[in-house]
Structure 1
Amino acid sequence: MNDEMILRGLKENNLKNIDLNIPKQKIIVFTGLSGSGKSSVVFDTLAAESRRQMTLNYPLYVRNQMPRYERPHADLMKNLSPVVVVEQRAIGSNTRSSVGTYMDIDPLIRLLFSRIGTPPIGSATDFSSQSTFGRCPACGGFGEVVAPDLNKLVDFEKSLRDYAVKFKPLSPSGWQGRWMITGGLFDPDLPIKDYSEEKLQLLLFGPPKGEKVYAPFHTKNGPQPHEWDGLLPRFTRLYIHRDVTKLKEVSQEDVLAVSTHALCPTCQGSGLNPKVLECTIRGLNIAEYDQLELTELLVELSSIQDPMGEVIAWQAIPHIQQLIDMGLGYLSLSRKVGTLSGGEAQRVKIARHLGSSLNNITYIFDEPSAGLHPEEVERLIQMLKSIKEQHNTVIVIEHDLSVIKAADEIIEMGPGAGVYGGKVIYQGKLEGLHQTPTAAILHQALSVNNNPRRRYSYFSIDAASNNNLKSISLNIPKNVLVAVCGVSGSGKSSLMTEAFPDRYQDTIMVGQGSIGISTRSTLATYMGIMDDIRNIFSKETGKPAGLFSFNSLGACPVCEGKGEILPDVAFADPVTVRCEACGGSRYSDEALSYRYQLKNIVEILALTVDEAMSYFTVPKIIKRVNTLRDVGLGYLTLGQTTSSLSGGEVQRLKLASHLQKEGQTYVLDEPSLGLHAEDNGKLLDVFQTLVNRGNSVIMIEHNLDFIAASDWIIELGPGGGKQGGHVIFEGTPEEMLQAETPTAKWLKAVVNTL
């Protein structure tokens, strides 16, 4: 039947040769424990095959320039439709990327000003901070004046060899730092404070104006003269006046960490030439347009009377209305996407796809409720239904019970995670869901913590005004479990990831960012125990530790430690072939010939976290492996690549890597992200244990399970943007049940109905 997608013999990752019929033009929710196989079906099989078949419609020379997809491991895949994938990945890594650029509204606003703005300026591109005419001459269009901060960049107590330069690319770990040490211009072992005035000037600022100084730089062709221009001029030229998002060895955050940055006084942060800012519509220039809240911008655009302006405005209005309908009316076009909270970013991504008039499309959402307050999940569900009503199929990977209940059909993967998952344990309607992990949670009553820990001491925050915070002051109790909640944009992140660590700099922040996954990064390397395992082998066998690394001496000589080979197949679809020389183990025969306690290095890495607990005796290994087990990752193997982990597994791995210290202050940004409700209990146990050991744990959370289990709740609001930034509740979970706030409303509903 053509109204179903037919999938047979699915074997990607941990899938156990499963068969599925997925109905079209329905809302289908895939649920199940983190690591149970949801992403393997939806992303690695269905989406990958649809994209692969779509590229087959293009000529060969075009296909060769496009992303190429390998055919998923499956016996049969029929009746697929084109897919639109909305993933959880962060949107826009470019520091110039804003809500206006991401939603393609900015070009329309620039066109509007070029056509009806007075006095007239010129073309639409002249209103861009990235055009030659439009950019501010003082800041180059960035809106900020950035300059190196000498005291952040250089530790005058240290020598060059001892990393006096604290910026990595200019330190001994980079070629420029090594050149400074070996070039002969400077004593590499003398503390910078002991340099003569002349040498200090040469190091920091370069030679006097008009003069040039050269130092030999050693290359494979021998020493070559290379001009030394001074540490600060070099830093400014290479890392401030270039788009660092295009430099592989450094990030914008690295540069700003050793710089001062302030609003550009010439353009007041707009990045635009003052001449451009003279052009206005109804008394507002384009920078003021960009800074309006979207609700205010909608009023301005709707008030345009000029016939040509009306045509352009009405092209922008639907995009703005979509953002407002998603509860993001408090944002502005100039808001940088990198500053959006997880819930805000998720909804901006979703809104981008709502304007399409295409139908018979399969929309795939990866946990669209992530980062959303329960109040906002209702809007999300209505949005999913509106997409379906346009004759589209909506496939959602989700743990949120409200979204699961709204599905036309539920597919639960399991029964466990990793090697214990990969099967379909239920497919059907909500009322038929019984005896599965999700069914158990659906019928489990939620109770609030009625015996919170006592509060003896506090973290004090005075007059915090970061972003939209309204100069708030509050006391956050120490050594208890604290939940900070509120609708998106209410100020939670501004308070806890900016104002709080500014005052308490020893805070351990566990955010939502990526962990820098790669196919060569494993669970053992990420947790910092791979060196210890290699040293155990080295001590046992007398061989160098590098022999037991597939990134070093122990790599298979044929596949160079990859475990697989990607043959050159010209224009055909790529095909990954397991390396025949090492059988996919990545290691050379010599490395595999040595054993520790009857196991070679590959067999050691094949141990699960649970098995490793009884195999090793080194305290550091035991402690870190035990932390992995505490966060519910006992089923993963030590050698599992981080690139193969699900979103929920990555979230817990990040937590495990941080939860190794005691007597600390932890701020956790949505730790429940990507977790099935059954996993929530395990994670809460970890947090309770942390607090019992004398730590302070503060969670930014929307998840009602975590809020109900906390000792103290702080809610910000009452709304987002300008309507947020106030503390609207402080108290225990029991006290919240008597309050009238957005979170209290949903907490009362869940406690009373279950």
Structure 2
Amino acid sequence: MPTEQLVVHGAREHNLKNVTVRIPRRALVCITGLSGSGKSSLAFDTIYAEGQRRYVESLSAYARQFLQMMEKPDVDSIDGLSPAISIDQKTTSRNPRSTVGTVTEIYDYLRLLYARVGRPHCPICGRPIAGQSLDQIVEQVLRLQEGTKFTVNAPVVRDRKGEYKDVLEELRRDGFTRVKVDGEQRLLEEPIELDKKFKHTIEVVVDRLAMKADLRQRLTQSIETATSLAAGLVVIDVVSSDGADRQGGPRSGKAPRDGSKVGGLSSTTFSENLACPDHGVSLPELEPRVFSFNSPHGACPRCTGLGAQLEIDPDLLVPDTSLSISEGALVPWTIGSQSFYDSVIQAIADRYEISLETPWRELTSDEQDRFLYGTDGDRILVTYRNRMGRKRQYTMAFEGLVANLQRRYRETDSSQQRERIEEYMSFRPCPTCHGARLKPEVLAVTIGEKSIHEFTQLSVTAALRFIDELELTKTEELIGRRIVKEVRERLTFLDNVGVGYLQLDRAAKTLSGGEAQRLRLATQIGSQLVGVLYILDEPSIGLHQRDNGKLIGTLERLRDLGNTVLVVEHDEQMMRSADWIVDIGPGAGEHGGVVVAEGTADVIARTDGSVTGEFLSGRRRIAVPDRRAEDGRGWFTVRGASMHNLKDIDVGFPVGRLTCVTGVSGSGKSTLVNEIVYKALANRLNKMRTKPGDHLGVEGIECFDKVIEIDQTPIGRTPRSNPATYTDLFTHVRELYSLTPEAKVRGYKPGRFSFNVRGGRCETCRGDGQIKIEMHFLPDVYVPCETCHGRRYNRETLEVRFKGKSIADVLEMSVEEALEFFAKIPKIRRRLQTLHDVGLDYIKLGQPATTLSGGEAQRVKLAAELSKIATGKTLYILDEPTTGLHFADIEKLLEVLQKLVDNGNSVVVIEHNLDVIKQADWIVDLGPEGGEDGGEVIATGTPEEVADVEDSYTGQFLRGILALPAAAAA
């Protein structure tokens, strides 16, 4: 068998129909096809699973027990298989300590760099500090001009209150005769009285010397004595010819610059330690662990390196500032029986003459603080009625709502109360480190005048620029050259895959799936592996068309190293750049699982029966609408959006139309739509307690009665969740089965047909249908339950049938099959129809939620919303709904979105796909770049209007795609 090909024989995993395919090695190969056609089954569940399984099996039994092993896929054989690495979109770390810098290993190199060539400073005065050896101190003192008189002093007490009788007595016993107390030289034989209420400085005079040629030995002994007395410190006082001290010069740890003064000053402090001689702040020995916020050696002790703490957030206590206190502005005091707090509110209002009818936003900050932060020790007169209805009074100093909730949260043992209080809490910057995560003495170490925290606050692009412009001394250059090279290479890789806008301290859990995947891709490029099979799942997700070329160039570089790069992708530019395409189809689910075509893009375009080929050749395309929707029912406008990189922008969205928010990656789209628009409207319309991003306000909220965000988060975290349960379809199916004659005779209620509760489910597997068997040196095995044979229910429940099918048979049906089966049951048919409309014919009703892709989960959510009774005043927000969708699937999605708009609803989508953008009624284009260079409104209008804007990258690509129909017509 030739080694130039990867050959898969007889793949039958999931819906694959005995597929045999030949894939060239050391090439960029694109696997495409309709959603659900079997692309992932071939790429991940067959090729990757077998490659990973073979590698793990080559390890010792001891090593295998620590690794997740894959089951052998259902395939006859795979030849020419290399070690496989999967780069998917489900690997984002949820750990709050993970950042862009840590997951890419850049932060590890930065810690090493700062430990080796960082320049320490005093965190109090900012003065550079450095530890010096005894010999170095002696050498600097020996530079004094011959004949110069000076004393060697040991500062045993520095700026501390006390009488210090014991210290002075001990010095006297040790044979010392002179001390310098608060700048005045005194004899120890004299009585020295110190006022314990004031700070004092005591320096013992170890030796009095005059500079001469043979002084080295005595000077060394004197300095050694002084440093042993003063924990590594020694003060050199230069004395004038008449023996009096020259006062008034500040101390410095710098080397002397002339022959008569140490450091050019009358008094100089030297330190053997890494410490500020003036403030006594000691720095630990600079090691990489000191710069880690995951280590107690470097982490801020208050927040333990998280940089933030969960605290009561005043903005969540008063989400609607237009309300007065009497109207319920203070939300925690409006829930349940709050007679005590009603009395306190009235008492505060009476004491400080505050109107309870005035809107919260119109109260002064002092008036607001009385309720939030207390009466500052002032006692207020609280009047209340006891259980007998009698009026009682008492005085109290009120702690404030914030402190009250914080105390109750800390003291309560009730998890229910803690959860309720957590609704008013958010992560706020640590008051000690202000979000920097590290100790102040660690943050005082700099390179190029930036601390390690300031470095991580830079975007990837800015950090690359900083590294390129960094100036080091010759010694620092010699030490740090290799480290700087590693940092520069990793930053360059990140910039090349289109994430140059990300800050290095960005939390990993806030990254999108596409961003996380590109970070891993950059890390793999940095590893310089050769002969590896890389398998990627839609790497172009979240990328603007402008950045696609960079990504493709990166994949080609990975290929040119000698690797095979396999991408599951729908992007046309990616397909045309691939060396080879494998088109799976022709349909989805049971109608897919066959290799329809394979070859170059030109070959696919000429292949009859290939839906992909029809779009590549131009025989079929998503048409530009003949006309745009007329003006809707008005506008809703965000004012002063300034969260993250948004530059205090005002953005208007038409009501009752399809609006597309576009822009390069990192331009601020998700911040504007998800963090500001959705959260601001959800607070008002859905009564959610969530804090929107910084903005002045939203006008036009009255145009809507609810807002719905449809994202790609899983519809459930356990295999028990499935499309049938999520869409509420299964509730109606269970009700239907409870109405069958057999169920009525047996007295079965709908609950009998649930696999989550006792009664109807199989108790051996508790409704899972399978049992997990742990294998110590092999992958865990899931075997069908021997009692129910994988059907989840007990025998009695399965005996109840509708049209010859049991409830377990229904869960095994695809949406397409179920639509035909329940055609005459309106409640069930309507929900199945919505799943069909969004292109999910192929999924099974009982398919575990954990096996659905992000795009499938999003469409299940969309179907669930479509099945509800529409009011025509809903705002739908979708974040990249074309993820995982083929050209043909996008056609269906656009029909669904248009139906929502036709019913009077408003739809706002964040999208990069040009087929969706050209269909929009209105476009809001942000930019011009990502990160700090983004956050501005570049263009708004119809696709045709945006295409005419020269500065818009989206407009540049729209120009070409809008010109195609005109060219075809001509």
Q: Structure 2 vs 1, CA of residues 64 and 371 (structure 1 numbering), >3 Å: closer, same or farther? A: same
Q: Note the 1:552-571 alignment, pairs <5 A.
A: 552=757, 553-567=759-773, 569-571=775-777
* Distance in 2 separating the partners of 1:482 and 1:449: 14
Q: Does 1:94 find its partner at 2:121?
A: no
> Does 546-555 or 693-702 show the bigger shift?
546-555
How big is each residue's C-alpha offset from its partner over 1:290-345, in whole Å with a ceiling of 9 and x where there is no partner?
11233332343342331212232222111111112223333221122233345433
Q: Structure 2 vs 1, CA of residues 9 and 154 (structure 1 numbering), >3 Å: closer, same or farther? A: farther
Q: Does 1:451 find its partner at 2:627?
A: yes
Q: Does 1:632 find its partner at 2:842?
A: no
How big is each residue's C-alpha offset from its partner over 1:97-138, in whole Å with a ceiling of 9 and x where there is no partner?
111011011121112222222226422211222222322233
Letter of the aligned partner of 1:382 in structure 2?
G
Letter of the aligned partner of 2:837 in structure 1?
D
How big is each residue's C-alpha offset from its partner over 1:671-699, in whole Å with a ceiling of 9 and x where there is no partner?
11110110001010001110111100011
Which of these residues, 423, 441, 466, is aligned with residue 615 of structure 2?
Answer: 441
* Distance in 2 separating the partners of 1:411 and 1:70: 25
> Does 367-376 or 632-641 show the bigger shift?
632-641
Q: Structure 2 vs 1, CA of residues 550 and 504 (structure 1 numbering), >3 Å: closer, same or farther? A: closer
Q: Does 1:519 find its partner at 2:719?
A: yes
Residue in 2 that maps onto 1:655: 862
Q: Structure 2 vs 1, CA of residues 643 and 330 (structure 1 numbering), >3 Å: closer, same or farther? A: closer
> Does 342-351 or 630-639 show the bigger shift?
342-351
Q: Note the 1:456-495 alignment, pairs <5 A.
A: 456-495=633-672
- Give aligned-pair identity as a percent: 39
Q: Structure 2 vs 1, CA of residues 722 and 676 (structure 1 numbering), >3 Å: closer, same or farther? A: same
Which of these residues, 586, 590, 597, is aligned with residue 426 of structure 1?
Answer: 597
Q: Does 1:596 find its partner at 2:774?
A: no
Q: Note the 1:358-373 alignment, pairs <5 A.
A: 358-373=529-544
Residue in 2 that maps onto 1:311: 482
* Distance in 1 separating the partners of 2:421 and 2:413: 9
* Distance in 1 separating the partners of 2:913 and 2:59: 45
> Does 513-522 or 76-85 show the bigger shift?
513-522
Note the C-alpha offset of 1:538: 2.5
* Distance in 1 separating the partners of 2:507 and 2:519: 12
Q: Does 1:394 find its partner at 2:599?
A: no
Q: Structure 2 vs 1, CA of residues 675 and 206 (structure 1 numbering), >3 Å: closer, same or farther? A: closer
Contact 1:450 1:733 in 2 (8 A): no
Residue in 1 that maps onto 2:327: none
* Distance in 2 separating the partners of 1:342 and 1:60: 34
How big is each residue's C-alpha offset from its partner over 1:190-232, in whole Å with a ceiling of 9 and x where there is no partner?
9xxxxx999xx9xx9999xxxxxxxxxxxxxxxxxxxxx9544
> Does 12-21 or 693-702 show the bigger shift?
12-21
* Distance in 2 separating the partners of 1:112 and 1:239: 47
* Distance in 1 separating the partners of 2:309 and 2:851: 41
Q: Does 1:328 find its partner at 2:492?
A: no
How big is each residue's C-alpha offset from its partner over 1:530-582, in whole Å with a ceiling of 9 and x where there is no partner?
23322332343121434322333333344443333444555345544434543
* Distance in 1 separating the partners of 2:663 and 2:791: 48
Residue in 2 that maps onto 1:681: 891
Note the C-alpha offset of 1:373: 0.7
Residue in 2 that maps onto 1:274: 440
Note the C-alpha offset of 1:439: 1.0
Note the C-alpha offset of 1:50: 0.8
Residue in 1 that maps onto 2:28: 27
Note the C-alpha offset of 1:372: 0.8
Residue in 1 that maps onto 2:730: 530
Q: Structure 2 vs 1, CA of residues 400 and 235 (structure 1 numbering), >3 Å: closer, same or farther? A: farther
TM-score (norm 1): 0.85
Note the C-alpha offset of 1:452: 1.2
* Distance in 2 separating the partners of 1:732 and 1:36: 35
Aligned residue pairs, count: 684
Which of these residues, 158, 182, 189, is aligned with residue 336 of structure 2?
Answer: 158
Q: Structure 2 vs 1, CA of residues 42 and 513 (structure 1 numbering), >3 Å: closer, same or farther? A: same
Contact 1:6 1:21 in 2 (8 A): yes
Letter of the aligned partner of 2:843 in structure 1?
L
* Distance in 2 separating the partners of 1:274 and 1:568: 48
* Distance in 2 separating the partners of 1:48 and 1:370: 23
SS in 2 for 1:112: helix
Residue in 1 that maps onto 2:390: none
Q: Structure 2 vs 1, CA of residues 112 and 256 (structure 1 numbering), >3 Å: closer, same or farther? A: farther
Q: Note the 1:603-642 alignment, pairs <5 A.
A: 603-613=809-819, 615=822, 619-642=826-849
Note the C-alpha offset of 1:517: 4.5
* Distance in 2 separating the partners of 1:105 and 1:316: 6
Note the C-alpha offset of 1:353: 1.3
SS in 2 for 1:508: strand
Note the C-alpha offset of 1:521: 2.1
Q: Note the 1:729-744 alignment, pairs <5 A.
A: 729-740=939-950, 741-744=952-955
Residue in 2 that maps onto 1:139: 303
How big is each residue's C-alpha offset from its partner over 1:620-658, in whole Å with a ceiling of 9 and x where there is no partner?
433322221221123333223333434442331132223
* Distance in 1 separating the partners of 2:926 and 2:575: 27
Note the C-alpha offset of 1:85: 0.9
How big is each residue's C-alpha offset from its partner over 1:125-172, in whole Å with a ceiling of 9 and x where there is no partner?
112222223222333322223224698695753379xxxxxxxxxxxx
* Distance in 1 separating the partners of 2:876 and 2:403: 43
Residue in 2 that maps onto 1:77: 78
Q: Structure 2 vs 1, CA of residues 159 and 607 (structure 1 numbering), >3 Å: closer, same or farther? A: farther
How big is each residue's C-alpha offset from its partner over 1:445-476, in whole Å with a ceiling of 9 and x where there is no partner?
45433511122410111111011001001211
Q: Structure 2 vs 1, CA of residues 9 and 700 (structure 1 numbering), >3 Å: closer, same or farther? A: same
Which of these residues, 765, 772, 784, is aligned with residue 578 of structure 1?
Answer: 784
Q: Note the 1:337-416 alignment, pairs <5 A.
A: 337-416=508-587
Letter of the aligned partner of 1:492 in structure 2?
K
Contact 2:713 2:854 in 1 (8 A): no
How big is each residue's C-alpha offset from its partner over 1:459-494, in whole Å with a ceiling of 9 and x where there is no partner?
111111011001001211110000110000111111
Which of these residues, 938, 947, 957, is aligned with residue 746 of structure 1?
Answer: 957
Q: Structure 2 vs 1, CA of residues 299 and 378 (structure 1 numbering), >3 Å: closer, same or farther? A: closer
* Distance in 2 separating the partners of 1:612 and 1:56: 42
Contact 1:301 1:317 in 2 (8 A): yes
Larger relative contact order, structure 1 or 2 (CA cutoff 8 Å, min sep 6): 1
* Distance in 1 separating the partners of 2:426 and 2:499: 31
SS in 1 for 2:527: coil
* Distance in 1 separating the partners of 2:57 and 2:10: 23
Letter of the aligned partner of 2:489 in structure 1?
P
> Does 35-44 or 149-158 show the bigger shift?
149-158
Note the C-alpha offset of 1:425: 1.1
Residue in 1 that maps onto 2:64: 63
Contact 1:651 1:674 in 2 (8 A): no
Letter of the aligned partner of 2:959 in structure 1?
K
SS in 2 for 1:504: helix
* Distance in 2 separating the partners of 1:279 and 1:600: 70
How big is each residue's C-alpha offset from its partner over 1:579-613, in whole Å with a ceiling of 9 and x where there is no partner?
45433322221111112343221223334334434
Greater Rg by CA: 2
Q: Note the 1:271-310 alignment, pairs <5 A.
A: 271-302=437-468, 303=470, 304-305=472-473, 306=476, 307-310=478-481
* Distance in 2 separating the partners of 1:602 and 1:285: 62
* Distance in 1 separating the partners of 2:542 and 2:480: 37
TM-score (norm 2): 0.66
* Distance in 2 separating the partners of 1:738 and 1:301: 38
Residue in 1 that maps onto 2:123: none
Runs of 5+ in structure 2 lacking a partner?
A: 121-273, 275-282, 318-330, 339-386, 388-392, 686-706, 966-970
Contact 2:667 2:926 in 1 (8 A): yes
Letter of the aligned partner of 2:724 in structure 1?
A
Q: Does 1:128 find its partner at 2:129?
A: no
Q: Structure 2 vs 1, CA of residues 333 and 637 (structure 1 numbering), >3 Å: closer, same or farther? A: closer
